[in-house]
Structure formats: structure tokens, C-alpha cells
Amino acid sequence: MAVPAPLMPDVDFLLDYVPDFHERIAELRKHGPIVPIMGFGKPGWALLDYEHVDFAFRDKTAFDVTRYNVEVAEPFMGRALLAMKDDEHKLNRGMMNPSFLPGKARSYVEGIIEPTCHELLDRIEGMEEVDIKEAFCKPFPFTVITKLLGIPVTEEARLIKLAGDMLSYMFDEDLSRGAHKEFGAFIIPLLEERRRHPGDDLISQMLQIEVDGVRLEEEPIMAFLRSLYPAGGHSTSLNTGSAVYAVLANPEARAMVLKGEKERMAVVNEALRWEPALGIIPRLMIDDIELGGVKISREDTTYLTVTSANNDPKVFPNPRKFDPNRKNLANLITFGRHEHLCLGRHLAQREMEVALRVLLERFPKMELVPDKEVRFSSTLFRTCEELWVRPYGN
């Protein structure tokens, strides 16, 4: 059975900018928890309610994550964790996981994360106005990853571009293939060099890790690195931009950032709920299912609408209010669920926490430029387009 005609045929929720995303979600929600929308030029089912998005993330029968990643992403990104299941996934994730545990993420603060913040903020010293998204939020997580991997920072601009180009497989397959090939040509010699001369960087750690006498093979490492830059760098940069805006626009959140680490983490988690970078995640079904009163065929495309789930008023009352004091922020669905819960979530949260602290320590009077509109757009990679600030206030 074909997906019915989309409710809002005027907008492609995956290809268009959709600045009024939240308003459209509210309107769609009036028609039910699962509704037809247009995505990538064809109708598919959008899961809107927290309950159903949460179910789909956990489900391994109809909504299993691997089909989309094997058929769509793997030809361009390699065999990453999201394309694996069962023993293969357990083994490879188990070997990578130690480098991304909460304690490990905290250990990166003093040597890498905080110095990177200062290096980038040094560049805006003395400026009256600056687009803080472009100057700080965008390069910050990429620089952190570059340092964690032990790659010369001089290669950072090239790697940022390759990360974006590799992700373009959903829009421009040739561009993605070219970036995939160039990234491999850059990384493979580096892997070989680290095998001969291991250091204390993340690449060396992954090459040395063993589980039951088995070491990671080269292809999973390559696939992980291909996804680390786009996922760990790109999504964290978007989330950091949204968090900085929210803090500068909300005096209570600003005060919490300056109060202490616990309060800052609450601000970070509320930002991740309020405007997640990955607002919609596509799925290819692997079996028929009836959910929310809707019959979904294995031939259908579904869209896990993370932004909608995180703003479900049944779970998060008054969802568009930025409120770091919510008691249920642990329920945010931004990083997924179950065995495919985002491996780098602790690093991303720690990066954002440190970024907010250092930003306001360095520039305690920083404010938004009143006559520069802050416009959020896109759904797949959502954040503010520009974020103009006055570092020293008015």
C-alpha cells in the first residue's frame, strides 16, 4: 500500500530550509502521531510523538537502523557502526567505546577542549561584532577532533570541507564519492604510520585495542573516522551554535552557565532537546508494522522526527520554552536509543559545557546584535544560519 499524499505538499522536509519547522510540526500533530510528509522528493511517514520515535529507535524488527545505513550510507561512508548488528556491532563498538566514556571525555578538557576554546576566542579579541557561529561554534568541535586524532591542525580546513562533502551523499553522490576517496588517501598513510609509531592519540588507541585477542580491522576504523568528522564535528558545531544562541537569549540560562558544572550540563541538555541538530532521521523499513493507528509497509520510508519528539508537549510541557530546570531532560531523544545510542554523546556534551563556560568567562558582557535576525533553518542539519554578537556588549 502506497504512502498517502503528503499533508504539506508545498514543502520537502528533507531538502527545503523549513525555517518554520516547529510551526509545521504543531500543525502536522493535529492530524495524528504518524503522518505522511514529503521527503527527498517522495512521500514517507513522519513519526511525530515521543512515544513512537522512542519505539522506532529501540525496535529491531520493522525499524532496524541497519538497512538504511547499509543500502544508502555505506557505499559512501564505509561500514560504520550503524550498518552493523549483533556480534559484529557488539565487538566493534566494544573496542571503540573506552575512548568515549564519560571519564575519558572529561580527561580531554584540560589538554584539548579548553585550550581549543581559548585559541579560537583569541581570534575575536577586540572585535566589536562577530558571527560567533562561524568564528567559534563551527570550527571548535572539528579542531577538538583533529587534535584527538593527532592530525596536524593545518589540515583542519581541508577535513572540515571533506566532512561536509562526504555527508552530501543524500544530495550529490559524485561529490560524496570524491570526498570519500580523498579522505581515504589522506587517512590510510596516517594509519600505517601510527601502527609503526603509536602515540597517545585516538587513532593509535584504536589500533592497539584488543578484545579476546582480536584487534579492530582497518575498514571499521576508516568508517568510524569518516563518520566522526561529519557526526562528531558537524552535528556538535550545530548544537553548539543553538546552545550559544539560547544562552544569550535567556538570562536565566546565562546565569546557570556561570553558576557551576551541574547547571551548565542542564543548559546543554535543554539545548539538545530544544533544537537538536539532527531534526529528522530517515529509516528504510525491514518489515510491515501497524503503529499509532497507521499501517506502514516494509516498502515505505519513515522519518524519525527527533525535533518533534523532543518537543512533544505530553512529555515536555510548554516545549518551546527554553527551560534548563526541567526534571526529565534525561529523556531527551537527541542521541538515539538502545544499542545504537550515539557513541560520542559524552564527548559532545562535554565540549558544549566547556564551550559555554569559557565563552562567558572570556566575554561576560557578550550579547546578541539586536538588528541581526537569528534565523533557524533546515531539518536534517538544523541550527541558526548566522549568530552575530557583540563580544563586549553594547
Which pLDDT tens digit goes with each residue over 324-383?
999 999 999 999 987 778 888 999 999 999 999 999 999 999 999 999 999 999 998 999
Residue 8 lies in a domain: no
Mean pLDDT of 163-174: 86
Phi, psi at 295, each rounded to 5° = -90, 120
Could you tell me if 162 and 145 are in contact, meaning their C-beta atoms sit under 8 angstroms apart? no
Side chain identity, residue 240: T
How far CA 111 is from CA of 96, 105, 346, in Å, comes to 21, 11, 17
Give the contacts of 322 (CB within 8 A, at least 6 positions apart).
246, 249, 250, 253, 270, 271, 274
The winner for highest mean pLDDT among 55-69, 117-131, 178-192, 212-226 is: 117-131
CA distance to 143, 194, 267, per residue, from 127 (Å) = 22, 41, 27
Q: How far apart are CA 94 and CA 88, in angstroms?
A: 10
pLDDT at 253 over 90: yes
In a domain, 71, yes or no: yes
Chain position carrying cell 537527541: 334
Say if CB 76 and CB 166 are below 8 A apart. yes
User: 99 vs 301, which has greater pLDDT?
Assistant: 301
Is residue 7, in this structure, part of any structural domain at all?
Answer: no
CA dist list (Å): 341 to 59, 81, 203, 366, 394 = 13, 11, 22, 35, 43
pLDDT in tens, 72-110: 888 878 787 777 888 887 877 887 788 888 998 899 999
The confidence score (pLDDT) of residue 83 equals: 77
Asked if the model's pLDDT at residue 220 lies above 90, the reply is: no
In a domain, 3, yes or no: no
Q: 138-154: per-residue pLDDT in tens?
A: 999 999 999 999 988 78
How large is the C-alpha radius of gyration of the chain? 21
Q: What is the CATH number of the domain that holds 253?
A: 1.10.630.10
Grouping H, G, I as helix, E, B as strand and the rest as coil, residue 301 is: strand
Residue 16 lies in a domain: no
Residue 72, in any domain of the structure: yes
Contacts of 231 (CB under 8 A, 6+ apart): 342, 344
In this model, does residue 214 exceed pLDDT 80?
no
pLDDT recorded at residue 132? 98
Which pLDDT does position 9 carry in this prediction?
96
Nearest residue to 232 via CA among 348, 120, 381, 384: 348
Q: 241 in a domain, yes or no?
A: yes
Range of the domain at 134: 21-390
Query: Could you give the percent of the chain with pLDDT greater than 90?
Result: 70
Question: How many distinct structural domains can be found in the chain?
Answer: 1
SS3 letters across 121-170: HHCCCCCCCEEHHHHHHCHHHHHHHHHHCCCCHHHHHHHHHHHHHHHHHH
3-class DSSP state of 189: helix
Q: What is the mean pLDDT of the chain?
A: 92
Residue 9 located in a structural domain: no
Task: Return the C-alpha cell found at 22.
Answer: 516547529
Give the N- to C-terminal CA distance of the chain in Å, as an integer: 59
Separation between Cα atoms, residue 263 and residue 299, nearest integer Å: 45
Please tell me whether the overall predicted TM-score, pTM, comes out greater than 0.85 for this model.
yes
Between 369 and 223, the more confident residue is 369
Query: Is the Cβ–Cβ distance between 47 and 33 less than 8 Å?
Result: yes
